[in-house]
Structure 1
Amino acid sequence: ACRESTKSKSAASRRGSKGSRIEMVAPRGRRSPSGPDRRPQAGGGERSAGGAAASEQKAAARVSVNQPAPPPKFNAGADRISALPEHLLLEILERLDLREAVRAGALSRRWRRLPKHLSRVDLDVAHFQGATPLEAMDAFTGAARSLLAVVPLAESSALKSLILGFYMPSPPHLSTIGRLVQDVVSLGQTECLEFCISLPSPSNTVPQRAEIGRQFMSFCQAYPVAFSWLTSLALERLAFGHSDITELISSCGRLRRLTLRTCRLVDLPFVLKIDTPCSGIQELKFLCVGCTRIDLISVPKLRQVVCHSWISEKLPLHFGYVPELRSVLLDSRAMAW
């Protein structure tokens, strides 16, 4: 009996201990988050990581919209100027002296044809070196030929302004210049055409200057298209007949400015008469002109007259029909008697 009671007590104790162990186990729904059986929810970390990545992408997109793209990277030896479009390269050349623009054209095959597309060409024989004036004119006409050779209209930009300064006399050179200028103005896009013509030596005699003056008038008559587009003309150290200047102005329909520097008349009386009722000339300059009187008989569009250092004791200017004249500038050195 003692042994049976002892067995029943041990079995009861075993059941009590087993029941107590069951009570200590918490239900699944009430498991403490800090308990030893805590496990991360499946997919929760992945969803949070994906959301963070999406937020970063949106932020990067906003930054890329608000900030400009970084500049392209060039190699240290890359030619950035030649990579520019042609209209920008022409803008650069337009701001250079013509000699520098021509030299720049020799840098590469692409640059070589750009000077022919300049909208302004200013070419002066004084820029060319030569042992004689003839050699200087050879270099001048060669440069003019390379710059003014007409390219097809589809490829050419308009030559708006052409300024040429050259020597007289030189018939072969004059014919080259006349043909080149006529080819350019025949395109109908030239707005400014200027000639500055002088003698290479100031020591010419009066008969020599008169002969050169006649050659100039023949040059004007041989290329009427070129002279009809002329807007400004400056003549230095030439001698003319009484009616040459009137004929010259009348043949240059677009002429607006005429300058006579140290020019003179050939025969007595030394009276320069200008009678051009149909011309549009607006400015006349007489600088050290060898004549006793200047008669402006009819110059209806004339607005300004400049007279400097005349040879007579009295004012040489005599005004006829000049209804639009606004300015008269007189300048002469004092004379002692």
Structure 2
Amino acid sequence: MPRLRRVRPRRASEEDRLSALPDGLIRRILTKLDTRSALSTAVLARRWARVPRDLPAYDFMVSDVLPPQYDRTVALRRRNLPRDVALARVLDGLMASCEVSTMRAFVDGITGFLDADGGKARRCVDTLRLEFFQTNDGGGVVDRLIADAVGAWGVEDLEVVVRPASHAPAPAYSFPHGRLKDGGRSRLRSLTLGNCTIPPKLDCYDALTTLVLRDMPASTPVGVYERVLSDCARLQVLHLTSCLCADDRLVVCSGIRELVVDACSFMVIELRDLPMLARLACLTNTVELVFGSVPCLTHTNLSFSVEEDTLVLPPRPHHHDELNHFLGTSPTMANLVIRFTGSKRWIGSEELDKPLLHLKRLLIADLPSNWDVSWTHTFLVEAPSLEVLHIHVAHSEEVPESFGIIWSTASPTQCHPHMKELVFIGFTLTRRQMQLLKYLVSTCTSLQRLVLLKDGHVRYDGLWDWDMVGGQQECQWTDHDKRALRRMIKSGPRPLVQLILA
């Protein structure tokens, strides 16, 4: 018969080691956890229940409490799967039930959090991120949470994102502008609204420097977006993501320094007067840029795309005209990213109207493999100060469909004394690519680093910086190809410091 081990009862004088931990160590542990887990640590020891009130950021995300199978079901239904109607209805019912039950638990959790210590718990919070489904029973609690956070806790960075519900699409959530006291509104520095109505008055948000608008409905008048720029006197950063609009032309006049337009419905964006704009990213498939005054623009990211369901014949002329006009009116640009995305791509080959005198770094990415890549030497001719040129040709098993192929235009050969680095991903020794390489090694008298990669991708660090990364698969160059490349490179004006073939 096994011996039973007698458990010695804890003496009253023994120390609770969890409670004995210093506050600094407890805070460090809690900052590594999500908000839900951090608040749950209150059951470990009474002293831990007080420390989460001092956390600098709270994340109340409904996605943290959704079961894993929910997102998988949503992905299936977006692809219109399964095809069986009866089974699809069953899945839709399960999704709706999951959303309702999750929001009830979500609302109960927030209510308990707000009612802690009789609703008088003192908190000092810098950031609040909130994500929820728009339901009839959750709006009041969410309004109270936002009002308390901005008014009593001192939140300066606020993010409110409403997830669309599958069972009963509700109108956009109305941001509780009326419940925020003047002191709270004037404290906000960063505001993100996703699928929310914009507050009717933004001029009282005196300290607001960053505004992010996402998933705005198609009924939004263009005047709402333009009012944002006129009302927020201190606004420095404006991001518009998946924003729809009742009009197709947006006129921007502001003192902002950073503008990002991503997947929006604006057909025309007129940058009329932006004296302080330094960073611009236009990542959309329908936009036409009309530039006015942008004297400080240095970092730019442009994506040109035509969706699969859009067929325009002949090719729309603004794709190259506006690119030409844009580059010609940005004399201070130093960093430029140009991407070609979508299944159907086209751009013209006209030379630039005005030189890019200050351009230092240039990335031309996602070029279709059937395009004449030697067109890119136009930028060398028009950018005499260019130091870094990175070219990425998209790898594809099939020849990509495109509206047209870029053909290089004749231009005189000239010296490029400032070019130091060339990285080419997707180099396959075609005749046009070899012509471009020969031109570069013969005219770039200060070239120090040359990297030719058969496969790889561009790893983006934000919107205006990037790294060129080689592929994981080993691509062997034949001895004949290596000799041909080295013979061509040696014909240049000076030997390279670094040559990489991979």
Structure 2-normalised TM-score?
0.41
Matched, 1:89 2:45: no
Q: Which runs of 5+ in 1 are unaligned?
A: 1-76, 239-243
Give the match for residue 58 of structure 1: none
Give the Å deviation of 1:101.
Answer: 1.4
| Structure with the largest fraction of strand | 2
Matched, 1:138 2:139: no
Residues 169-223 of structure 1: CA distance to partner in whole angstroms, max 9, x if unpaired?
43x422222223323433363332222223223984xxx6xxx13xx34x43442
Letter in 2 for 1:307: V
Give the match for residue 197 of structure 1: 162
Give the match for residue 224 of structure 1: 180
Q: Is the 8 A contact 1:229 1:254 kept in 2?
A: yes
Equivalenced residues, count: 241
Give the match for residue 186 of structure 1: 151
Letter in 1 for 2:193: A
2:218 alignment partner, one of 232, 241, 265: 265
Instruction: Assess, with a 3 A threshold, how the Cα gap between structure 1 residues 94 and 151 changes in structure 2: closer, same or farther.
Output: farther
Give the Cα–Cα distance (whole angstroms) in 2 for the partners of residues 227 and 202 of structure 1.
34
Instruction: Assess, with a 3 A threshold, how the Cα gap between structure 1 residues 235 and 251 changes in structure 2: closer, same or farther.
Output: farther
Residues 109-153 of structure 1: CA distance to partner in whole angstroms, max 9, x if unpaired?
33234333323211111112373323322222232233345769x
Give the Å deviation of 1:274.
Answer: 0.9
Alignment of 1:3-152 (within 5 A): 80-129=17-66, 131-149=97-115
Give the Cα–Cα distance (whole angstroms) in 2 for the partners of residues 289 and 184 of structure 1.
27
Residues 152-180 of structure 1: CA distance to partner in whole angstroms, max 9, x if unpaired?
9x98452222221122243x422222223
Matched, 1:293 2:293: no
2:235 alignment partner, one of 273, 276, 281: 281
Larger radius of gyration: 1
Q: Is the 8 A contact 1:260 1:285 kept in 2?
A: yes
Q: Is the 8 A contact 1:115 1:147 kept in 2?
A: no
Q: Is the 8 A contact 2:219 2:244 kept in 1?
A: no
Letter in 1 for 2:192: L
Q: Is the 8 A contact 1:169 1:199 kept in 2?
A: no
Letter in 1 for 2:157: C
| Structure with the largest fraction of helix | 1
Q: Is the 8 A contact 2:159 2:192 kept in 1?
A: yes
Give the Cα–Cα distance (whole angstroms) in 2 for the partners of residues 202 and 296 of structure 1.
37
Instruction: Assess, with a 3 A threshold, how the Cα gap between structure 1 residues 201 and 249 changes in structure 2: closer, same or farther.
Output: farther
Give the Cα–Cα distance (whole angstroms) in 2 for the partners of residues 157 and 87 of structure 1.
17
Percent identity of paired positions between Structure 1 and Structure 2 = 22
RMSD value, Cα: 3.6
Instruction: Assess, with a 3 A threshold, how the Cα gap between structure 1 residues 264 and 149 changes in structure 2: closer, same or farther.
Output: same
Give the Cα–Cα distance (whole angstroms) in 1 for the partners of residues 200 and 147 of structure 2.
20
Matched, 1:331 2:283: yes
Letter in 1 for 2:147: Q
Give the match for residue 193 of structure 2: 234
Secondary structure of residue in 2 paired with 1:265:
coil
Residues 10-47 of structure 1: CA distance to partner in whole angstroms, max 9, x if unpaired?
xxxxxxxxxxxxxxxxxxxxxxxxxxxxxxxxxxxxxx
Secondary structure of residue in 2 paired with 1:165:
strand
Structure 1-normalised TM-score?
0.58
Give the Cα–Cα distance (whole angstroms) in 2 for the partners of residues 142 and 287 of structure 1.
31
Secondary structure of residue in 2 paired with 1:201:
coil
Q: Which runs of 5+ in 2 are unaligned?
A: 1-13, 68-96, 286-304, 313-502
Secondary structure of residue in 2 paired with 1:186:
helix
Give the Cα–Cα distance (whole angstroms) in 2 for the partners of residues 174 and 160 of structure 1.
23
Give the match for residue 309 of structure 1: 263
Give the Cα–Cα distance (whole angstroms) in 1 for the partners of residues 66 and 128 of structure 2.
21
Instruction: Assess, with a 3 A threshold, how the Cα gap between structure 1 residues 288 and 87 changes in structure 2: closer, same or farther.
Output: closer
Letter in 2 for 1:326: A
Give the Cα–Cα distance (whole angstroms) in 2 for the partners of residues 296 and 143 of structure 1.
43
Give the Å deviation of 1:329.
Answer: 0.4
Q: Is the 8 A contact 1:149 1:180 kept in 2?
A: no
| Segment drifting more, 102-111 vs 193-202 | 193-202
Give the Cα–Cα distance (whole angstroms) in 1 for the partners of residues 262 and 116 of structure 2.
40
Give the match for residue 413 of structure 2: none
Instruction: Assess, with a 3 A threshold, how the Cα gap between structure 1 residues 235 and 250 changes in structure 2: closer, same or farther.
Output: farther
Could you say which structure has the greater relative contact order, defined with CA pairs below 8 angstroms and 6 or more residues apart? 1
Residues 238-278 of structure 1: CA distance to partner in whole angstroms, max 9, x if unpaired?
6xxxxx758364454443333333433327x8776413434
